[in-house]
């Protein structure tokens, strides 16, 4: 066997081992989380190796009911948190897209003084430490009475997702043939009409990808929520709700159920739009 043949075989085998390894490390924690959200912790303590639940442990959805039930009925009030998270994430998506599409079009297509500076400035902002912005915002919002409100959270998420949106959409807008827009102008559309009737429909896949990203960022966010709304339980988003379950007094089964509740919508959305997302990610480079 020559060296070349040996390497062919060696790396050929190694490749499959690596594929199995990466699939396993990506998938196993989620399966484990799902299983443990049903498995009573006493059973697990008896034999940690038997982590999968039995059928009748699954059928009742006991832990999920307890997590979702309002506090007044002895639960953890997750229904409210789901509602808050949805309000915050959807509002952020709508606001970011309305402001971001116009801005991205401007940077991609319109000649104006300072266009380059704005592009570069936005990217720089995107690289700055979130904690540093959070401290003065905390002071500012406290003084303006915007702390302890979902509005405050939404506008902070708007500001932190705008640069990504601008960056990702700009590239896509530039790839749309300019002749299409010119033809529409000749046919009598105004400039705003062109954006509404030509650019937006043509960029629909990119816009969908950006919308999903912004949704994920707002849905998953933890630091700002912790700083701004911790003191008002009725305003908590899901991340604060799940964080509260991480305590000595709460069984880990509940913690895992909460984790499943916050992860499930994201995973479903991700699978629904995986192709857009992977393309969008490499086009823009998304902060993590």
Q: Which of residues 138-167 bind other proteins (CB under 8 A)?
A: 138-140, 142-143, 155-156, 158-160, 162-163, 166
Spatial contact of 240 and 81, defined as CB atoms under 8 Å apart: yes
Of 19 and 204, which has the nearer Cβ to other proteins?
19
Exactly one of 81, 173, 219, 228 binds other proteins (CB under 8 A); that residue is 219
Stretch in the footprint of other proteins (CB under 8 A) among 62-70, 74-82, 102-110, 199-207: 102-110
Neighbours of 76 (CB within 10 A): 21
Spatial contact of 67 and 261, defined as CB atoms under 8 Å apart: yes
Of 107, 88, 258, whose CA–CA distance to 174 is shortest? 107
Distance between CA 19 and CA 53 in Å, rounded?
Answer: 28
Of 72 and 247, which has the nearer Cβ to other proteins?
247
Of 80 and 96, which has the nearer Cβ to other proteins?
96
Classify 189 as helix, strand or coil.
Answer: coil
**What tokens appear for 192 in the block?**
């705003």
Q: Is 80 in the site for other proteins (CB under 8 A)?
A: no
Of 34 and 73, which has the nearer Cβ to other proteins?
34
**What tokens appear for 256 in the block?**
């895992």
Q: Is 185 in the site for other proteins (CB under 8 A)?
A: yes
Q: Is 193 in the site for other proteins (CB under 8 A)?
A: no
Spatial contact of 200 and 108, defined as CB atoms under 8 Å apart: no
Q: Is 190 in the site for other proteins (CB under 8 A)?
A: yes
Task: Kindly write out the interface string for residues 47-66 of this chain, putting x where it contacts other proteins by CB under 8 A and - elsewhere.
Answer: -xx-x---------------
Exactly one of 79, 130, 180, 204 binds other proteins (CB under 8 A); that residue is 130
Q: Is 123 in the site for other proteins (CB under 8 A)?
A: no
Q: With contacts defined by CB under 8 A, how many residues of the chain interact with other proteins?
A: 100
Of 135 and 204, which has the nearer Cβ to other proteins?
135
Q: Distance from CA of residue 212 to its chain's centroid?
A: 7
Query: 126 CB contacts (<8 Å, ≥6 apart)?
Result: 163, 164, 167, 287
């Amino acid at each position: 066997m020559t060296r070349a043949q040996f390497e062919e075989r060696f790396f050929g085998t190694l490749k499959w081992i690596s594929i199995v390894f990466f699939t396993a490390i990506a998938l196993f924690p989620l399966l484990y989380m799902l299983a443990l959200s049903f498995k009573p912790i006493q059973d697990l303590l008896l034999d940690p190796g038997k982590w999968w639940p039995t059928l009748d442990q699954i059928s009742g959805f006991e832990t999920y009911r307890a997590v979702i039930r309002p506090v007044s009925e002895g639960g953890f009030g997750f229904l409210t948190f789901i509602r808050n998270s949805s309000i915050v994430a959807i509002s952020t998506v709508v606001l970011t897209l309305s402001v971001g599409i116009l801005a991205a079009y401007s940077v991609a297509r319109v000649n104006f003084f300072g266009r380059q500076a704005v592009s570069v400035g936005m990217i720089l902002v995107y690289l700055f430490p979130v904690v540093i912005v959070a401290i003065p915002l905390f002071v500012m919002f406290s003084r303006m009475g915007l702390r302890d409100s979902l509005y405050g959270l939404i506008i902070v998420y708007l500001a932190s997702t705008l640069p990504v949106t601008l960056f990702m959409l700009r590239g896509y807008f530039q790839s749309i043939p300019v002749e299409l827009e010119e033809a529409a102008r000749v046919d009598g559309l105004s400039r705003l009409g062109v954006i509404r009737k030509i650019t937006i429909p043509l960029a629909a896949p990119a816009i969908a990808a950006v919308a999903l990203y912004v949704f994920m960022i707002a849905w998953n966010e933890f630091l700002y929520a912790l700083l701004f709304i911790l003191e008002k339980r009725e305003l908590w988003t899901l991340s604060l709700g799940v964080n509260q379950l991480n305590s000595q007094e709460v069984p880990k089964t509940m913690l895992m159920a909460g984790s499943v509740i916050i992860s499930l919508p994201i995973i479903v959305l991700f699978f629904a739009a995986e192709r857009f997302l992977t393309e969008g990610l490499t086009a823009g480079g998304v902060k993590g």
